Structure 1
Amino acid sequence: MLRRLGLAAATALTLSLPAFAEAVTDFRLANGLEVVVIEDHRAPVVTHMVWYRVGAADEPPGHSGIAHFLEHLMFKGTDELKPGEFSATVEAQGGDDNAFTSWDYTAYFQRVAADRLDLMMKMEADRMRDLQMSEDDVKTERQVVLEERSQRTDSDPDAIFGEQRRAAQYLNHPYGIPIIGWRHEIEQLDREDAFSFYRTYYAPNNAILVVAGDVTPDEVKRLAETHYGALEPTENLPPRLRPQEPPQLAERRLTFTDPRVAQPYVARSYLAPARESGAQEKAAALTILAELLGGSPTTSLLASALQFGEAPKAVWSQAYYDGSALDSGSFSVAVVPVPGVSLQAAEEAMDAVIADFLKTGPDPEDFARIKTQLRAHDIYSRDNVDGLARRYGAALTTGLTVEDVERWPEVLQAVTPEEVVATAREVFDRRRAVTGWLEQEEEESQ
């Protein structure tokens, strides 16, 4: 969520602060490991991240969830560290660590004092190639993942609804498979599955090391060569060739009912362009479009028309663009109707707002305000070295370059109202949309 500022205050902010460009250095070791260094010497801390160019969309058929499952197993131990010792060591240094998996990447990070970077690199390099896991480790962690799915997905009708909508959106591309995996396939994952995936993809020539904070490029290069430089790359690393989505020619609709639903709503997602290296203009236009339509809970077009009009039809509305993907992005809109307003009426009202926008385009004052807010958000975000590390890691694992990341704020500011409307007309094609209704299941009369 963007930090909301008044137009005058935000304009004054962007005029008073010069354009900020973090000092970023990018180089590659002989074994293929890409290294990005983001310097910030304001505090003696450092974020150390290793990103692997592999995620849920790269899993072998029938093994959904293996990328996320391996993420769990990476904390079990190595030939030098006992199970649990990795995180315990980070904690003993006053730091914290964790990991996360997406469709396009898996990342591991530690936040520690800058003088502990050497130790972090030593441990992370150790588990890049020397992971150990017993049958008991696999059995235990598989049960943990199944319980995670039970708590976060199977017991939550909203999560199930989202999972089903995504499966309908992607009929052929693995983006339609949940990151955590389908339950019946998680239950079958074994030690050999995990090791096969690990040995193939967890290698220096399939990884990006991002170090942000109180460091210098020379220091990071010396440490990286010491700890990561000797690791053997994976020979014949498989190319990232996923099954692609055929052209969607008809709208897909679904209704999910569940007695646990507390608040019915309508949601629609469209296939949309992702950020493309060297050609980020459409992604920038969609970013601004999402802010105009539903970025603010009070001033966006959907909110103004549906929540604060003469006859409110919604208690909440949203528009969201996700362009951080290797293959395909998406643009989503959603409306939660007020009690007494049907989902059909809510959907029609949502469509009316979109149709009006396509006819009239953005209000010039709103357009200027959104650009100012995006600029202010960019300035504030650079105070967070963790966020900067994630920004570069996510970009580089989804086909973008350091230059693309650095140019993104300029691309956003260069977008015109005409480009936003043209891109909206291209994306808002119901033949490429999935529309879903989430409803409360009515109890049968006795």
Structure 2
Amino acid sequence: MSELDRRSVIAGLPAAAALAAAPRLAAAAPAAQPVFGAETFTLANGLTGVVIPMRRAPVVAHMVWYRVGAADEPPGLSGMAHFLEHLMFKGTPNVGPGEFSRRVAREGGRDNAFTGHDYTGYFQQVAADRLELVMRLEADRMANLLLDPKDIEPERLVILEERRQVIENVPLRRFRERLAPLLYVNHPYGRPVIGWEHEIRAIPREALVAFHERYYGPGNAILVVQGDVTTDQVRRLAEVTYGRLPRTGRVERRRPQEPPAVGERRLALADPRVREPQMARLFLAPTARQAPDEADALEVLAHVLGSGPTSRLWRALVDSGLAASASAAYGGESVDPTEFALHASPRPGVEPARVEAALGEALARLLDEGAGEEEVSRAIRQMTAGAVFARDSLMGGARTVGAALAVDLPLAHVEHWPARIAAVTPARVTEAARAVLRPEAAVTGWLTPDGNRS
């Protein structure tokens, strides 16, 4: 799913998820060794805590994830989760509008926030001895957000301008926005995270207040701290900050689900600002929550198909001179069924129909012959080659672990990812490909200067 950052959009055609914006595990240590070595605790009021010790420098990353995103909005109010994310910086009775970020900056830190379909997250990077400060600030706005009408209307205009800048003025993002409802004909993943313009304009204050009261409680939140700390230190600080908030429970997600995909669907979008045509082919795919073994195989399949010069699509489309680029992506870290995506961009002078035909032939060959031992082994080596560096990024572990827990994946899903990927076989990759890459269920889109693919 796509993910919106408060100051910039993490955009593009499907990735995952990833996580739309979270760094993926590039890593693989010995099978028995956890990737991050995260430790967990739970406060009496329901808050889940995660600590990833990292002693390289006296700094910490502090994140709060809420198990709510754009897919949890009421019908007709798309963009409300993202709107509320903006308004979380507008103050409480204790902290004035904009003062949260100014306090973090005065301490030499930085902060930001992001919204996805399944979660909303807030983070700060500060010196380790300032951790209690950001915890108090974050706990304050979890419980005491004002949502003053004088702040809501100006921020609504900011978001409408953001939509114009990052969606309407960027043809590829506009294309992606229009393609999603063809894949998700009933599920709210088909709605844009930022919202449709007419619905952003219609979101009332009362709905924002109710949304915050329902979802922004400790029982629906995950605290993740990575850096120069111990679990005992973080728990003690959490008890005197978040622990003082009243207990709340987990909020059950109730969403309409997709019917079985029937019939190929197509989109041809014209935009004179486009220099070179872009193709996307999407398939509905299971998530790691629903089918963890199949999800691992789909990750390897995406690498086999579209991960650079040794991949099947690259050889079929780029090496043949038909396309300037070709790739594949799968993001299994979501609450509900996700997407497996293929992308290609024809070379100048090459008719789009030739690229689409070649892509179809490459897929048919894979489904007919199955995945080979050599290409699967190579994909696994490439995917897990850099795992020793997975903990080098201050935010990398916090974002990866937080995003997984926010969609109800177990911590082991992250910690033992390298060993699971190493266990994927060619037979499993072939089985996953045949289950997901069904031509009769595909969504195909073309973005061209004139709207014509032929």
Residue 331 of structure 2 aligns to which amino acid in structure 1? D
Alignment match, 1:359 = 368
Asked if 1:258 is matched to 2:267, the reply is no
In structure 1, what is the equivalent of residue 311 of structure 2? 300
CA-to-aligned-CA distance 1:84-120 (integer Å, 9 cap, x gap): 1100111111111000000000000001111110111
Partner residue, 1:248 = 261
Partner in structure 2 of residue 216 of structure 1: 230
Q: Distance in 2 between matches of 1:401 and 1:330?
A: 21
Query: Aligned to 1:41, which of 55, 58, 73?
Result: 55
Q: Which residue of 1 is the match for residue 12 of structure 2?
A: none
* Partner-residue secondary structure (3-state), 1:385: coil
Q: Report the Cα offset of residue 178 of structure 1.
A: 0.3
Q: CA distance change for structure 1 residues 412 and 332 in 2, over 3 Å: closer, same or farther?
A: same
TM-score normalised to the size of structure 2? 0.90
Contact 2:92 2:144 in 1 (8 A): yes
Q: Equivalent residue for 1:69?
A: 83
Question: Aligned match of 2:350 in 338, 341, 345?
Answer: 341
Please give the secondary structure, in 2, of the residue aligned with 1:187: helix
Report the AA paired with residue 440 of structure 1: P
Shift of 1:370: 1.7
Counterpart contact for 2:268–2:451, Cα < 8 Å: no
Task: Give the superposition deviation at 1:14.
Answer: 7.4
Alignment of 1:63-102 (within 5 A): 63-102=77-116
Q: Is the 8 A contact 2:300 2:379 kept in 1?
A: yes
CA–CA distance in structure 1, aligned partners of residues 166 and 402 of structure 2: 26
**What is the letter of the counterpart of residue 330 of structure 1?**
E
Q: Distance in 2 between matches of 1:178 and 1:22?
A: 32
What are the residue-to-residue correspondences of 1:16-35 with 2, within 5 Å?
19=33, 21-35=35-49
What's the offset of the Cα at 1:20? 5.7
Answering whether residue 434 of structure 2 is matched by residue 421 of structure 1, we say no
- Cα displacement (A) at 1:249: 1.2
- Note the C-alpha offset of 1:442: 7.8
Following TM superposition, by how much is the alpha carbon of 1:409 offset from its aligned partner in structure 2, in angstroms? 1.6
The answer to whether the 8 A contact 1:25-1:217 is kept is yes
Q: 1:439 to 1:218 in 2, by over 3 A?
A: same
Alignment of 1:143-158 (within 5 A): 143-158=157-172
Q: Residues of 1 paired with 2:410 and 2:394: CA distance?
A: 18
Q: How is 1:194-213 mapped onto 2 (pairs within 5 angstroms)?
A: 194-213=208-227
Task: Determine the structure 2 residue equivalent to 1:9.
Answer: none
How big is the shift at 1:407?
A: 2.2
Matching of residue 269 in structure 1 with residue 278 in structure 2: no
What is the Cα deviation at residue 351 of structure 1?
0.8
Displacement of 1:379 after TM fit?
A: 2.4
Per-residue deviation, 1:128:
0.3
- Where 1:240 maps in the other structure, the secondary structure is coil
**After superposition, where does 1:187-198 map in structure 2 within 5 Å?**
187-198=201-212
Distance 1:229-1:15 versus aligned 2 partners, 3 A rule: closer
2:420 pairs with one of 407, 411, 416: 411
Q: Which secondary structure does the structure 2 equivalent of 1:286 belong to?
A: helix
1:107 aligns with 2:121: yes
Structure 1 range deviating more: 80-89 or 353-362? 353-362
Q: Which protein has greater RCO, CA pairs closer than 8 Å, 6+ apart?
A: 2
Contact 1:280 1:408 in 2 (8 A): no
Q: Is the 8 A contact 1:284 1:411 kept in 2?
A: yes
CA distance in 2, matches of 1:30, 1:65: 32
For the Cα contact (< 8 Å) 1:256–1:437, is it kept in 2?
A: yes
2:52–2:226 Cα contact (<8 Å) kept = yes
Hey, what's the Cα distance between the residues in 2 that align with 1:34 and 1:121?
Answer: 14
Larger Rg computed on CA atoms: 1
- How many percent identity over aligned positions? 49
CA contact (8 A) 1:165 1:254 kept: yes
* Change in CA separation of 1:306 and 1:425 when aligned onto 2, cut-off 3 Å: same
Superimposed CA distance per residue, residues 3-37 of structure 1 (whole angstroms, 9 cap, x where no aligned partner): xxxxxxxxxx9799995643321111111111111
Q: Does 1:60 align with 2:74?
A: yes
CA deviation profile, 1:337-378 (whole Å, cap 9, x unmatched): 122222211111001111122233334333222211221233
- Looking at structure 2, the residues matched to 421 and 429 of structure 1 have their Cα atoms a distance apart, in angstroms, of 13
**Equivalent AA in structure 2 for residue 194 of structure 1:** L
In structure 2, distance between residues paired with 1:344 and 1:117 = 56
Q: Distance in 2 between matches of 1:128 and 1:102?
A: 18
Residue in structure 2 matched with residue 8 of structure 1 by the alignment? none
Give 1:329's aligned amino acid: T
Task: Return the offset for 1:238.
Answer: 4.2
Equivalent AA in structure 2 for residue 275 of structure 1 = A
RMSD value, Cα? 2.0
- The one of 311, 326, 334 equivalent to 1:317 is 326
Deviation digits for residues 133-172 of structure 1, max 9, x if unmatched? 3222101110010000001111222111111110111111
Q: Distance in 2 between matches of 1:190 and 1:174?
A: 20
**Structure 2 residue 142 is the aligned partner of structure 1 residue 131:** no
- The answer to whether the 8 A contact 1:138-1:190 is kept is no
Provide structure 2 residue ranges, at least 5 long, that are not aligned to the other structure: 1-14, 16-26
- Counterpart CA distance in 2 for 1:121 and 1:260 is 45
Report the secondary structure of 1:373's partner residue.
helix
What is the DSSP-based 3-state SS (H/G/I as helix, E as strand, rest coil) of the residue aligned with 2:385?
A: helix
Contact 1:258 1:440 in 2 (8 A): yes
2:237 counterpart letter in structure 1: L
Q: TM-score, structure 1 length as denominator?
A: 0.92
How many matched pairs?
427
C-alpha deviation, 1:247, in angstroms:
1.0
Distance 2:186 2:366 in 1: 32
Distance 1:287 1:159 in 2: 24
Using the alignment, how far apart are the partners of 2:215 and 2:439 within structure 1?
A: 38
Task: Name the CA distance, whole Å, in 2 between partners of 1:46 and 1:194.
Answer: 31
Q: Spell out, residue by residue over 1:187-214, the C-alpha distance to the aligned partner (whole angstroms, 9 max, x if none).
A: 1123222111111110001000001111
> 1:299 Cα deviation (Å)?
2.1
SS at match of 2:310: coil
